Amino acid sequence: MKTKIVLFLFFIITAYFNSLIASNFNHNFLSKLNNPIDSIEYKINILLKKMTLQEKVGQMNQYNGFWEVTGPAPKDGNAKSKYEHLKMGLVGSVLNVKGVENVRKIQEIVVKESRLGIPLLFGFDVIHGYKTLSPIPLAEAASWDLTAIQKSARIAAIEASAVGINWTFAPMVDISRDARWGRVMEGAGEDPYLGSKIAAARVKGFQGTDLSANNTIAATAKHFAGYGFAESGKDYNTVDIGTSTLYNIVFPPFQAAVQSDVKTVMNSFNVINGIPSTANKFLQRDILKDKWSFKGFVISDWGSGAEMIDHGFAKDLKQVAKISANAGSDMDMESYAYVTYLKELVETGKVSIKVIDDAVKRILRVKFELGLFDDPYKYCNSKREKELIYHPDHLAAALDIAKKSIVLLKNNQQLLPLQKTQKNIAVIGALANEKNSPLGSWRIGSDDNSAVSVIEGLKKYTSNFVYAKGTDVTVGPVSFIQELNINETDKSEFNEAIELAKKSDVVIMVLGEHGFQTGEGRSRTKIDLPGVQQQLLEEVYKVNQNIVLVLMNGRPLAVTWADEHIPAIVEAWQLGTQSGNAIAEVLFGDYNPAGKIPMTFPRSIGQVPIYYNHYNTGRPGPKPEVFWSHYSDESTKPLYPFGYGLSYTKFEYSNLQINNSNPSAIKVSLTVKNIGSFTGEEVTQLYIHDRVASVVRPVKELKGFLKYSLKPNESKLVEFVLTNKELGFYNNNGEFIVEPGEFDVMIGTNSENGLTGSFIKK
Ligand code: NOJ
């Protein structure tokens, strides 16, 4: 017994002195890295020389924290060994740890107890806000307002940094043409030009102008590459795309993010043309790091390394570690491959130490740039945490971008805006009363039920309405990781809604998808109104046709019946914290909607993938015969084209002028006049078509847009300049080329309507 006590005491004392020695070493050593005169590269090299191979590998390892889970892992996982690994310097970053107190606790373990005390990066999916949520990214893209989008990311960074987070896994810049894919809600839609502008704006918003400030965080452009082209829209599915699509559609937003100095890039779960992205040397080394000179680091997606065993590309975790590191995936999220095998792989010559050093330098660079070596606790200030969460300025900005994201899809006989004196309003639909769904599915930082519902928003304008649910949009508990039960059958509350509609003058129906019906792992084969909502809509229509349909959804919906019957349709997506306030302002005309859809709305699921910048084919049509590229049972036209959206006012386009005297700066201009009776914003869009090229060009390509406001009767001269950057394209060798020849140009209010002209480019 005595010996046991002595041994125990000896153990405690030794542990205490070891931690003292480690912490002293850390302090002395880390303070050497604080000299502002020395360059970051110099400091990285000093630190690298001090590091053992094991410590280097540790930097390349990321663990999920102990609370939230955003991937398929047991909640408390290997909590104990993870904790030991932190002390051993075997962890470079953690994800899903939030709150100043928690971040500080974990940072302290590493800084005080590990030999070198290299601070951790704290990563988190801050997708469209932390606590104060802006609209889902697809909705924000509908604003076409780069300033507002940048500001939204800025606010997300301010709130996230106030709770200890210094790295967000956003923006997702994957282009997608498939409304079945659940993650379209997280991106900017189908167009590489708009997508690139938004990618740059969001990176700038998150990272600010000074990454070392305490309210800026590192951003991540994800998922490199092709993830949005998952076959049949099924998440994580195979991607097989040609060179032209890869270079001209998929790559541009990533390149724009890199040019905006994004600090990290996340690879993707999918195989692309047979090679998983995580082990894809062409993507990560040849394109990203060599061709684009990306200086940051690549993080794998959650377990995307280990998943290569299921893909049939690696036989075991050891091979995973080898092929991922060699291909340029610098940090391993939750595969446990690097931490388990990389050291051995270097020692046996399977992975070169140069590969490790390059990855570690990249990771350390981001840590230095964030200023973590100057102060590892710089994001751990409880006062900031209290002051900044749900700050009134943030709520005001969230309301601003929520309004800007709303798209008016239809407004026959000017049913909207409603008079503020309007009597007898019926409000129908479970989503009208939802405080949770408008937050979308990516809201792990935010509080459940923290959105303003439509009912709450309407109450600020009027008490002349009565509410009836009609039907559920969902039944049972929903959360980020739980499956969603959809009510497919229950019509027991239809009657109440129908009776209410009968005696009302106008009916506001709020229908669509629950926030948890889109997002990761939430692909659907049906893109109409889920459950019995369509039947409810048709039943209500039978008794009252004066319907304003407010759609809430995270993807384009095929609401063709509604378009044919319902006089007014408002696309309100999932608008975040201020959802109900924004919708009410639009319905009652205090804000004139100006959003334009960033993704084509199909007429039916069978048209998917449907997108505006397709090729012409050899048999374009329409033709009065059977042999042209079309369907025999559906139009080839979309329900609503890319870039479409109405206003309470009307804009008239005239006087298109093209000046091609300078072939490297072709000027295109026209006049736009507000001929309606409301002040309104318009997004004028410029599209080109290269008639004959060495690689076939799309029928239209967006190459410029401008958003501005006009008072009634006011006109504006809108001008665009087309340079080689807009007129060129990538050929199938991945070279950017500009070919002379004839171009069509269209400037208009959406991708289908506008003034057309043409010019010769010399
Ligand atoms: C998997 C998702 O694909 C990725 O976008 C996300 O950042 C990680 N999980 C971490 O939550």
Contacts of 421 (CB under 8 A, 6+ apart): none
Residue type, 183: R
Distance CA 723, CA 719 (A): 13
- Give the distance (Å) from ligand 1 centre to CA of residue 295: 22
Give the number of other Cβ atoms within 10 Å of residue 243's Cβ: 14
482: CB partners within 8 A, 6+ apart: none
Statement: residue 209 has pLDDT above 50: yes
CA distance 288 to 411: 46
pLDDT of 129 reads 98
Confidence of residue 14 (pLDDT cuts 50, 70, 90): very low
What are the residues facing 743 on neighbouring strands? 690, 759
| Residue 220 alpha carbon, nearest atom of ligand 1 | 7
Best of 165, 304, 520 to mutate for ligand 1, by most ligand atoms within 8 A of CB? 520
**Two structure tokens written together for 134:** 């802006």
- The residue behind tokens 């390509």 is 701
Distance CA 319, CA 342 (A): 10
Q: How confident is the model at residue 81 (pLDDT cuts 50, 70, 90)?
A: confident
User: Ligand 1, atom 11: nearest CA belongs to which residue?
Assistant: 70
CA dist 137 → 168, 199, 434, 598 (Å): 14, 11, 20, 10
Whether pLDDT at 308 is above 80? yes
What is the SS3 assignment for 715? strand
488 exposure class (CB count in 10 Å sphere: 0-12, 13-18, 19+): exposed
CA of 304 relative to ligand 1 center, distance in Å = 10
Q: What is the DSSP string of 258-293?
A: HHTT-SEEEE-SSEETTEEGGG-HIIIIIIIIIIS-
d(CA 365, CA 43) in angstroms, rounded, equals: 9
Q: Tell me the mean pLDDT in the region 649-673.
A: 98
**pLDDT of 375 higher than 70:** yes
Residue 297 burial class via C-beta count within 10 angstroms: exposed 0-12, middle 13-18, buried 19 and up: buried
**Residue of the nearest CA to atom 8 in ligand 1?**
302
- Calculate how far, in angstroms, residue 519's C-alpha sits from the geometric centre of ligand 1: 11
For the whole model, what pTM was predicted?
0.95
Query: Given ligand 1 and candidates 62, 125, 335, which is best to mutate, with the most ligand atoms within 8 Å of its CB?
Result: 125
CB-side neighbour CA atoms (13 Å) of 620: 6
Q: Mean pLDDT across the stretch 636-646?
A: 98
Q: Ligand 1 mean position to 39 CA, how many Å?
A: 33
Q: How many CA atoms lie within 13 A of 97 on its CB side?
A: 25
Quick one: pLDDT at residue 8?
42
Q: 């709305």: which residue's tokens?
A: 601
Torsion of CA 395, 396, 401, 406, to 10 degrees: 90
Measured in Å, residue 624 CA sits from the centre of ligand 1 at 49
Contact (CB, 8 A) for 314 and 320: yes
Which has the closest alpha carbon to 160: 475, 493, 388, 351? 388
What is the homologous superfamily of the domain 403-607 according to CATH?
A: Glycoside hydrolase family 3 C-terminal domain (3.40.50.1700)
The residue whose CA is least distant from atom 4 of ligand 1 is 301
Q: In what order do the strands lie in the sheet with 121-124?
A: 167-168, 121-124, 93-95, 61-64, 332-333
46 token code pair: 């000093």
**What is the pairing mode between strands 506-512 and 547-552?**
parallel
As to burial, measured by CB atoms within 10 angstroms (0-12 exposed, 13-18 middle, 19+ buried), residue 373 is buried
Closest ligand 1 atom number to CA of residue 169 = 7
Q: What is the pLDDT of residues 529-566, one digit of tens each?
A: 999 999 999 999 999 999 999 999 999 999 999 999 99
Quick one: residue 569, left, alpha or beta (phi over 0 = left, psi -120 to 50 = alpha)?
beta
pLDDT for res 15: 47
Ligand 1: nearest atom to the Cα of 170: 7
* Pocket (CB within 6 angstroms of ligand 1): 70-71, 95, 125, 169, 222, 301-302, 520
Q: How confident is the model at residue 22 (pLDDT cuts 50, 70, 90)?
A: low
Q: How many A from CA of 351 to the centre of ligand 1? A: 27
pLDDT band at 24 (very low <50, low <70, confident <90, very high): low
- Residue 336, helix vs strand vs coil: coil
Average pLDDT value over all residues in the chain = 94
Distance CA 117, CA 23 (A): 8
- Domain edges within the chain: 1-124+352-378, 403-607, 651-761
pLDDT, residue 25, reads 59
pLDDT at position 486: 65
Angle (CA) 243 299 212, round 5°: 115
Closest protein CA for atom 3 of ligand 1 = 301
Exposure of 150 in the CB half-sphere (CA atoms within 13 A): 15
Give the integer Cα–Cα distance in Å for 386 and 368: 27
C-alpha span between 493 and 504 (Å, rounded): 17
Q: Which residue has the tokens 């189908």?
A: 190
3-class DSSP state of 653 = strand
**Mean pLDDT within 99-107:** 94
In the chain, the percentage of residues whose pLDDT exceeds 90 is 89
Ligand 1 atom showing the smallest separation from residue 96 Cα: 11
Residue 367 CA, ligand 1 centroid: distance in Å: 21
Choose among 142, 28, 166, 156: nearest CA to 92: 166
> How many A from CA of 70 to the centre of ligand 1?
7
Q: Out of 301, 304, 331, 442, give the residue to mutate to test ligand 1, the one with the largest number of ligand atoms within 8 Å of its CB.
A: 301
Average pLDDT over residues 179-191: 98
Average pLDDT over residues 590-609: 98
Specify the fold of 651-761: Immunoglobulin-like (2.60.40)
Nearest CA to 754 out of 599, 610, 617, 596 is that of 596
| Helical residues (DSSP H) of 174-301, grouped into ranges | 192-207, 243-245, 251-259, 281
Residue 382, C-beta contacts closer than 8 angstroms, at least 6 positions apart: 100, 101
Residue whose CB lies within 8 A of the most ligand 1 atoms, among 184, 266, 270, for a mutation test: 266
SS (H, E, C) 350-407: CCCHHHHHHHHHHHHHHHHHHCCCCCCCCCCCHHHHHHHCCCHHHHHHHHHHHHHHCE
Work out the pLDDT band at 31, boundaries 50, 70, 90: low
Contact criterion met (CB below 8 Å) for 379 and 103: yes
Ligand 1: nearest atom to the Cα of 172: 5
Q: In this predicted structure, what is the pLDDT of residue 82?
A: 84
What is the total residue count of the chain?
A: 762
Q: What is the mean pLDDT of residues 29-54?
A: 87
**Interval between CA 520 and ligand 1 midpoint (Å):** 8
For ligand 1, atom 7, which residue shows the shortest CA distance? 169
- For residue 70, the ligand 1 atom closest to its alpha carbon is 11
Q: How far is the CA of 169 from the centre of ligand 1 (A)?
A: 7
Report the atom number in ligand 1 closest to the C-alpha of 123. Answer: 10
CB burial readout 504-526, b (16+ within 10 A) else e: bebbbbbbbbbbbbbbbebbbee
Distance in angstroms (rounded) separating the CA atoms of residues 709 and 417 = 18
Which atom of ligand 1 lies nearest, measured to the CA of 269?
A: 3
Strand-pair partners of 658: 668
Q: In 3D, which of 745, 759, 760, 754 has the Cα closest to residue 703? A: 745
Q: How far, in Å, from the CA of 189 to the mean position of ligand 1?
A: 18
Q: How far is CA 336 from CA 72, 306, 316, in A?
A: 14, 8, 12
List the beta bridge partners of residue 652.
673
- The residue to which tokens 């690994």 are assigned: 85
At 5 the pLDDT is: 46
| Residues belonging to the active site | 301
User: How much is the pLDDT for 675?
Assistant: 98
CA-based radius of gyration for the chain: 27
Ligand 1 closest atom vs CA 223: 5
Q: Quick one: pLDDT at residue 142?
A: 99
| Helices marked H in 544-588 | 560-565, 579-587
Least confident of 11-15, 343-347, 387-391, 711-715: 11-15
> Residue 127 in contact with residue 96, Cβ under 8 Å?
no
- Cα(388) to ligand 1 centroid in Å equals 26
Pocket probe mutation, ligand 1, options 63, 121, 169, 172, max atoms within 8 Å of Cβ: 169
> Which region among 20-29, 332-341, 440-449, 507-516 has the lowest average model confidence (pLDDT)?
20-29
**Whole-angstrom distance, CA of residue 179 vs CA of residue 232:** 10
